[in-house]
Structure 1
């Protein structure tokens, strides 16, 4: 009788644990995906978004903080793989990089991890003081933007990924056009004259602020473009994001707060 009771209790604990575990195996084979750099790069670009919210696990399947996860990507010998799930939440786990894998995989992951870690550490801090004039002569300052959600796109004319997402970010502006508490502005490295000529051919629905190279390098310490910021209504950095896909998800969440 005692033995049967123990078996029942063990089963119930297992069943409860299983029902709460809404993620499963890796969505790709962690070893196979490392066969070539092309395979890994194609998977990473479509399935790994380190700027979004996710639950992280180390290589021993122990849950760790997002900060610890990104630190290990930046400085360790791991690749991130998404786990299959049925609850809409992202679960990432670290897997060892194989000894015979292309060295470009590790170098790329370390750089991506470094950028994501740096961006993550900026979240929750105050956006640096600014006083800008856009191409239309409008003055924009920290004080004038208080009480608004600010979406900032950092870019320059010769940045191909920056320009490629113009149609998507323009569509995003249109989507939120009735939200008077959301402002879209962009910081560009280029001069006003260069930007006016360029934007006549490639329109951008954001307000555009020229000559921002020094500010982006020194105040924001950016080393990759595009970079997007979402500031909350208190002027704090809510999210730092590397692409439109991450921006779209994060803004939808911030706009509902």
Structure 2
């Protein structure tokens, strides 16, 4: 977490010589509301805010929390190094997990994408970074709700625990319960782990762990795959 925050300070406009907030710094928004360190750090981790010093020459300065526009957020996230690849998958290989059902009884066959893009998330309830990502992952689901993109979250937890959790923390992926055996097929041991599977059921992108730009890269990969499919379709009709 500390190293990620340092990266945020560098990428989002903090020079090495500039004042940086500490646990005891006063961090407030434009209305004057003061944020606890846990809150402003979490907001920074999501990549949608920056912090600016009120007085750069004052070692005890207060800081302002500033919300970025979507364009500003994406421009900054594009500067961050790509999330590290997982040790469990290889780009270009077939994704070999097969048929399963989500907790609502919907049948899913990950071996046969039928021309769809599939985004898979391995996670579990008591994984803090997994929970941190859920609101942003839900936004991604909403963005592609009308497209041939499906989102599958393979959880280690049982159905009862998941249903209880989802009452207070909605997660809009297809939720697959008791997924430990599925995770073990690929040796997944770190969470969250994300995989983007292309229209031919091949791994296109994969990453493990907490990163400020994971969701940005999931979105980027979906857009790339959709553009490639559109170009192929156009070429075949000419």
Give the TM-score, by structure 1 length.
0.54
Q: Which runs of 5+ in 1 are unaligned?
A: 1-36, 49-87, 93-111
1:171 aligns with 2:135: no
User: What is residue 229 of structure 1 aligned with on the other side?
Assistant: 195
- Residue 208 of structure 1 deviates from its aligned partner by 0.4
Larger radius of gyration: 1
Q: Which runs of 5+ in 2 are unaligned?
A: 12-76, 209-213, 229-238
Aligned to 1:190, what secondary structure does the other structure show? coil
Give the TM-score, by structure 2 length.
0.58
Aligned to 1:128, what secondary structure does the other structure show? coil
Distance in 1, Cα, partners of 2:91 & 2:182: 18
Distance in 2, Cα, partners of 1:169 & 1:91: 19
Alignment of 1:215-226 (within 5 A): 215-216=182-183, 218-226=184-192
158, 183, 205: which one pairs with 1:191? Answer: 158
1:206 aligns with 2:173: yes
User: What is residue 255 of structure 1 aligned with on the other side?
Assistant: 226
Distance in 2, Cα, partners of 1:170 & 1:142: 20
Distance in 2, Cα, partners of 1:117 & 1:156: 17
Contact 1:230 1:239 in 2 (8 A): yes
1:47 to 1:247, Cα distance in 2 relative to 1, 3 A: farther
**Cα displacement string for residues 178-219 of structure 1 (whole angstroms, at most 9, x for unaligned residues):** 11x211111000001110111111001111000011221x21
Structure with the bigger percentage of helix = 1
Q: RMSD across aligned C-alpha pairs, in angstroms?
A: 2.9
Paired residues in the alignment total: 158
Distance in 2, Cα, partners of 1:89 & 1:186: 25
- Residue 41 of structure 1 deviates from its aligned partner by 4.5
1:159 to 1:45, Cα distance in 2 relative to 1, 3 A: farther
Distance in 1, Cα, partners of 2:175 & 2:78: 35
Distance in 2, Cα, partners of 1:46 & 1:220: 35
Contact 1:149 1:183 in 2 (8 A): yes
Distance in 2, Cα, partners of 1:89 & 1:144: 32
Contact 2:152 2:175 in 1 (8 A): yes
Distance in 1, Cα, partners of 2:10 & 2:223: 19
